[in-house]
Structure 1
Amino acid sequence: MSAFKIADRPIGRDHPPFVIAEMSGNHNQSLERALEIVDAAAATGAHALKLQTYTPDTMTLDLDEGEFHIDDPASLWSGTSLYKLYEQAHTPWEWHAPIFERARKHGMLCFSTPFDETAVDFLEGLGVPAYKIASFENTDLPLIRRVAATGKPLIISSGMATVAELDEAVRAARAAGCEQIVLLKCTSSYPASPENSNVNTIAHMRELFDCEVGLSDHTMGVGAAVAAVALGASLIEKHFTLRRADGGVDSAFSLEPAEMKTLVVETERAWQSLGRVTYGPTRQEHASSVFRRSLYIVRDVEAGETLNAENVRAIRPGHGLSPKYLNVVLGTKVRQSLKRGTPLSWEALK
């Protein structure tokens, strides 16, 4: 699949990885903090800021019992209800416009993850350049069709989806008119461990679905993202906060500004390092050939004298014959007197 653009930013393996800073609920219900996050994300060099667009009522029911109560002791959100979690985490819709405007002032793209059709309609009014489908929504084919019908690039996180489910999602998007698709390898645990990231899937996803691929990363640090780029990821998404110590629903698995800056720099370096399959010296390496070993006269010899292990050796620099010829020249006589430190050449031999 050929590369495409999100707004003016090219997405593809021939371009540096596109890095998205995910704000999610890290604004902690403060617009001022949300705008600080935009400023900080722009300063890291991240290429886009992403929000999530929903309300508690578009996500679930206001119940705190049974399956609506989170009681998994391993969950970051254990002890609350789904409704209260989404109440705490959602970004008020009236904040979207000022957040988008702040991002534009920094020259940074801004878009969102819609969770139902009303969110798509709202975001269309804000002129978003792309959409993201969250990992838990990738089986919501009506939502995917609605987003795809906008004709804008669509990013879909894999999460727990099987190959069959991803195939259904991609087919639904393409049938609705969307060809500019990025599939993100994503492990839907918070935080995710490196061992559960399985970034080798990225290359397989590209081949299987013939689309751009990337990583939605919930691990700590930047190692998984760098590995993903080495395996062909053209897009990296990471949750972002000002300070994990400030708390919040997603802070535990979010990067701080210095870490996000490192992510941006190191993923681009990883991309730059891929290059092509090549052997032999590069143009930059030619000057370093002097540091190879070569055959040198290491003790003065007179004309007609025989070379031996006492008067010729393989040493640095590399101006003489290759060391592979040592056994050839040993026992050979020289044409003229040679001083210690003379590089040995075929012309010097009888």
Structure 2
Amino acid sequence: MNKITLGSKEVANYQTPYVIAEIGANHNGDMELAKKMILSAKEAGADCVKFQSWTPTSLVSKEEYERNQTYNDSKKKHFGSLKEMVEKYALTEAQHRELKDFCDSHNIAFASSPFSKEEADLLNRLNVDFFKIASMDINYIDFIKHVASFKKPIILSTGMATLAEIEKAIEACRSVGNEQIILLHCISIYPPEYKDIHLNNISMLQQAFNLPVGFSDHTIGTSIPLASVALGSCLIEKHFTLDKDLPGWDHEISANPEELKIICTESKNIVSSLGSFTRSVSEAEENKKERFRRSIVIKSNLPKGHVLTREDLTAKRPGTQIPPNEIQYVVGRILKTNMEEDSLLKWENLI
């Protein structure tokens, strides 16, 4: 399947990419901040804002809380323990509904990554346009089957995954009758080094699985997600914040409103500029030929009856008379008229 519909937008390789502003937990547990981010993402041109759905008990075990694990590569200090952050950043069912209603009222798609079957069920009740499976769950086959059973488009992020694991996740979706699958090339480092990004994997995944392939980006700035568009990326998922200096997991590697607008605007320009594999000359270029190309020119004064040699000839603008690639048809011909230095040679000047 080469095209998937997310809401009202058709998504396909080498088309204008669907842009997801990944708010994730960057709302920091503040609903007013979340709403400001939604409006800012909409203004920047994003198609969708995406959150993350978990509860303090659905994602992290007691042992992990006691170990107080950290999950990002940032050196930014956080406000408290892992458990305190998870509790603060978790969205309640009522908050999910509030954010979904807010997005609907402002004509931007609402989405979220579920981390348990119960959260997937909640999102299904909210009638989201699609489901996103996070990279961490690429091998959580039972969960993938449960989410895929809703028969809505599935976006599979492939960070940390082997080709075999990706294939099994795709098979899990198809085993419950869901063929609406989009893959995301992803490097689960925040941020990755450039040498580890391997954007060519986008083309590889397109060929390997014959599916739409997008890019889940964790780099700093806009250049890498925009580069992915030139490789046919059908979707760009970019972490989003209003302020990169806010405390929290992902603000530091997120796009701010100005950067998100660049991604949304320039991705359209890139797709438009890719054009066709067929070589053609535009009408605008055709119109420039006479001004920019050259014609054969006489190098010095020559009399009528002179037999032309290559030494008599050069080529200069404009390209309105005999083109230089036809000089072989001029050499050896006899002048019908006297010719002045630096004049354009015409066919009617020749016997």
Counterpart Cα distance in 2 of 1:21 and 1:74: 20
Counterpart Cα distance in 2 of 1:257 and 1:298: 61
Q: Does the 8 Å CA contact 2:13/2:213 hold for their aligned counterparts?
A: no
- Deviation of 1:71 after TM superposition, in Å, equals 6.4
Counterpart Cα distance in 2 of 1:137 and 1:194: 25
Structure 1 residues 72 and 170: CA distance shift in structure 2, 3 A:
closer
Alignment of 1:246-285 (within 5 A): 246-285=246-285
Q: Please state whether the residue corresponding to 1:56 is helix, strand or coil.
A: coil
Q: Does the 8 Å CA contact 1:215/1:237 hold for their aligned counterparts?
A: yes
Q: Please state whether the residue corresponding to 2:314 is helix, strand or coil.
A: strand
Q: Does the 8 Å CA contact 2:191/2:253 hold for their aligned counterparts?
A: yes
Deviates more, 1:312-321 or 1:293-302: 293-302
Q: Please state whether the residue corresponding to 2:50 is helix, strand or coil.
A: strand
Q: Equivalent residue for 2:315?
A: 314
- Deviation of 1:61 after TM superposition, in Å, equals 3.0
| Gap regions ≥5 residues in structure 1 | none
Counterpart Cα distance in 2 of 1:254 and 1:72: 16
- Deviation of 1:96 after TM superposition, in Å, equals 1.9
| Gap regions ≥5 residues in structure 2 | none
Alignment of 1:183-262 (within 5 A): 183-262=183-262
One-letter amino acid of the structure 2 residue matched with residue 152 of structure 1: K
Structure 1 residues 36 and 266: CA distance shift in structure 2, 3 A:
same
- Deviation of 1:76 after TM superposition, in Å, equals 4.4
Q: Does the 8 Å CA contact 1:212/1:234 hold for their aligned counterparts?
A: yes
1:289-312 Cα deviation digits (max 9, x unpaired): 121122134656553345567864
Deviates more, 1:289-298 or 1:180-189: 289-298
Counterpart Cα distance in 1 of 2:70 and 2:97: 36
| Count of aligned residue pairs for this structure pair | 349
Q: Please state whether the residue corresponding to 1:284 is helix, strand or coil.
A: helix
- Deviation of 1:98 after TM superposition, in Å, equals 2.5
Q: Equivalent residue for 1:303?
A: 304
Q: Please state whether the residue corresponding to 1:27 is helix, strand or coil.
A: coil
2:350 is equivalent to residue 334 of structure 1: no
Q: Equivalent residue for 1:349?
A: 350
Structure 1 residues 337 and 105: CA distance shift in structure 2, 3 A:
farther
- Deviation of 1:345 after TM superposition, in Å, equals 2.8
Q: Does the 8 Å CA contact 1:63/1:83 hold for their aligned counterparts?
A: no
Counterpart Cα distance in 1 of 2:224 and 2:193: 10
- Deviation of 1:278 after TM superposition, in Å, equals 2.9
Structure 1 residues 53 and 230: CA distance shift in structure 2, 3 A:
same
Counterpart Cα distance in 2 of 1:343 and 1:133: 68
Counterpart Cα distance in 2 of 1:341 and 1:95: 80
Q: Does the 8 Å CA contact 1:131/1:154 hold for their aligned counterparts?
A: yes
1:211-270 Cα deviation digits (max 9, x unpaired): 111110001122222222222211110000111123322101100011011111222222
Q: Please state whether the residue corresponding to 2:24 is helix, strand or coil.
A: coil
Q: Equivalent residue for 1:176?
A: 176
Q: Equivalent residue for 2:69?
A: 70
Counterpart Cα distance in 1 of 2:271 and 2:36: 29
- Deviation of 1:77 after TM superposition, in Å, equals 7.1
Counterpart Cα distance in 2 of 1:191 and 1:71: 15
One-letter amino acid of the structure 1 residue matched with residue 347 of structure 2: W
Q: Equivalent residue for 1:104?
A: 104
Deviates more, 1:260-269 or 1:318-327: 318-327
In angstroms, what is the RMSD of aligned CA positions?
A: 2.5
Q: Does the 8 Å CA contact 1:305/1:334 hold for their aligned counterparts?
A: yes
Counterpart Cα distance in 2 of 1:5 and 1:71: 36
Structure 1 residues 54 and 76: CA distance shift in structure 2, 3 A:
farther
- Deviation of 1:13 after TM superposition, in Å, equals 2.3
Q: Does the 8 Å CA contact 2:2/2:210 hold for their aligned counterparts?
A: no
Q: Does the 8 Å CA contact 1:59/1:86 hold for their aligned counterparts?
A: no
- Deviation of 1:63 after TM superposition, in Å, equals 5.1
One-letter amino acid of the structure 1 residue matched with residue 316 of structure 2: I
> Percent identity at matched positions?
33
Counterpart Cα distance in 2 of 1:140 and 1:151: 18
Q: Please state whether the residue corresponding to 1:199 is helix, strand or coil.
A: coil
Counterpart Cα distance in 2 of 1:21 and 1:48: 6
Counterpart Cα distance in 1 of 2:14 and 2:316: 42
Alignment of 1:137-156 (within 5 A): 137-156=137-156
Q: Please state whether the residue corresponding to 1:221 is helix, strand or coil.
A: coil
Q: Equivalent residue for 2:9?
A: 9
Structure 1 residues 39 and 57: CA distance shift in structure 2, 3 A:
same
Q: Please state whether the residue corresponding to 2:245 is helix, strand or coil.
A: helix
TM-score (norm 1): 0.91
2:166 is equivalent to residue 166 of structure 1: yes
Q: Does the 8 Å CA contact 2:65/2:82 hold for their aligned counterparts?
A: no
Q: Does the 8 Å CA contact 2:155/2:183 hold for their aligned counterparts?
A: yes
